Chains A and B, each alone.
Chain A
Amino acid sequence: MRAPTSDLPVAFDKVALRIGEVNVVRELNLTLATGSTTVLLGPNGSGKSTLLRLAMGLVAPTAGGITWGGRGTPGERLAMMFQRPVMLRRTAAANIAYALPTRDDARVFELLQQGGLADLADRPARRLSGGEQQRLALARALARDPEILFLDEPTASLDPAATKSVEDIVRVVAASGVKIVMATHDIGQARRLAGDIVFLARGRLVEHTLAHRFFASPATPEAAAFLRGDLVI
């Protein structure tokens, strides 16, 4: 049975996260709502992963607040895919079944097919290739029937062919109405997938605009430097 409450929009209000002496994320105001794919873009260490973890409810902010569909605690319609996903010590099919609320072999098969993994259903998940594991992690996240799917650098360690297969699935999922929020430092990937860009640098949200506008004429010097290929320190 579908949960009646929605987790969208995910709203950040003056959110900050301080770990020890470091301000990992500061003064973050952002609303993630239904619509096109949002790509979090920025150099490594800019706070992209942290922003996703905050949005997923894995870590609580040290200042400010986050609401999910107007509520203070995250609900059930969120899912996340990590850069290095953890494969449970069982078959690929069993990994997907684990994430389903009830036993549903048809749904498991459907998700395996969508991920291009139908032939690997009975293969131990830990013996899949990197790209296959990422697709399995994606299928497992989708098993939760999310309204919003967070992806943390999903293709960072994959070769181009594997990257393409993951991106193709992401496009299909986005088209089916799931809100995609994806972190990447790969400008090309951002160009390929983004509807709007959230550009982060040193823990701050520097720019948030539509993708085509961002790439055509970035409004801030940091964004321009990043797009030029300069190191944004």
Chain B
Amino acid sequence: MTDGASALQLVLGGDPTLYAIVGLSLYVSLSAVVLAAIVALPLGALLALTSFPGRTFFVVVVNAFMGLPPVVVGLAVYLLLSRSGPLGSLGLLFTAKAMIVAQALLVMPIIAALTRQTVEDLWAEYRDELTALRVTPARRVVTLIWDARFSLVTTLLAGFGRAAAEVGTVMIVGGNIDGFTRTMTTAIALETSKGDLPLAMGLGLVLITLIVAVNALAWGARRVGELRTG
């Protein structure tokens, strides 16, 4: 059988090893996006609505951090969590939890920066009306995030795409341990370097399908939302 045919068989036949890896990847990346969103959505909204000395610099830095190299994030978290590091006693290195935290850090700037832009644009439109309605600053944040919800769903899915597709962070922080911290991307890297292509190709197929499906979901959710609420 060719590698391609073997790969298809693994995917369509429900190979347990392959799908365990897929499951872990989804668990890590989805959790990372949720964690990142909890921090970055309000942070991005606040950045859009407040002015303080150094704001422009902060905005530029957050924008720049959208392009943080995953390996560098992985390295930074590794240094924090290693036995000789400040958080070494937590024993989190080479676990899924560490991978989740590291990916969350990677994705936070994307969500914060895109939220800031979205909320800032919406605030320009809503400013007079919300000021006339005497809406408190806290309530403004909630209102703008809610009214921008369709754009923000797209933002979260962009974050998920980045998390699911990266290999550097989870490789360094997770260690690619078989059955424990092996994700789709790290498995593809390993299997390809071993010359063991069917599993790598199967995982690649699943990964691409997931990314496409997630983007289609984003587009669909946005369209449905816009059609229903205008």
**Contacts from A to B (Cβ < 8 Å):** 53, 56, 58, 76, 78-80, 82, 85-90, 98-99, 124-127, 140-141, 144
Contacts and interface: CB of A to CB of B under 8 A. Distances in A.
B129 A85 contact: yes
Nearest to A126: B230
7 closest A-B pairs by beta carbon, nearest first, are: A126-B230, A127-B230, A86-B129, A89-B147, A124-B229, A80-B132, A124-B230
B132 A89 contact: no
A215 B51 CA distance: 48
Contacts, number: 41
Interface residues of B, number: 15
Contact of A90 (B125, B126, B133, B229): B229
Nearest to A57: B131
Nearest to B228: A124
A82 B129 contact: yes
B225 to A, nearest CB: 9
B82 interface: no
A163 to B, nearest CB: 21
Nearest to A75: B134
Contacts of A125: 230
Nearest to B129: A86
B143 interface: yes
B122 to A, nearest CB: 10
B4 to A, nearest CB: 47
Given A80-B132, A98-B133, A140-B133, 6 more contacts: A58-B131, A78-B132, A79-B132, A89-B149, A126-B229, A141-B132
A69 B114 CA distance: 43
B123 to A, nearest CB: 11
Q: Is the interface of B mostly helix, strand, loop or mixed?
A: helix
B146 A89 contact: yes
A125 B229 CA distance: 7
A99 B133 contact: yes
Nearest to A128: B230
A77 B99 CA distance: 53
A140 B133 CA distance: 9
Given A88-B143, A89-B146, A58 B230 contact: no
B128 A58 contact: yes
Given A58-B128, A82-B128, A89 B133 contact: no
Contacts of A76: 134
Contacts of A144: 133-134
A36 B129 CA distance: 25
A85 B125 CA distance: 10
A41 to B, nearest CB: 22
A89 B229 contact: yes
B125 A86 contact: yes
User: Which of the listed residues B126, B131, B230 has the most CB atoms from chain A within 10 Å of its own CB?
Assistant: B230
Contacts of A56: 132
A107 B150 CA distance: 30
B132 A58 contact: yes
Contacts of A89: 146-147, 149, 229-230
User: Which of the listed residues A86, A87, A140 has the most CB atoms from chain B within 10 Å of its own CB?
Assistant: A86
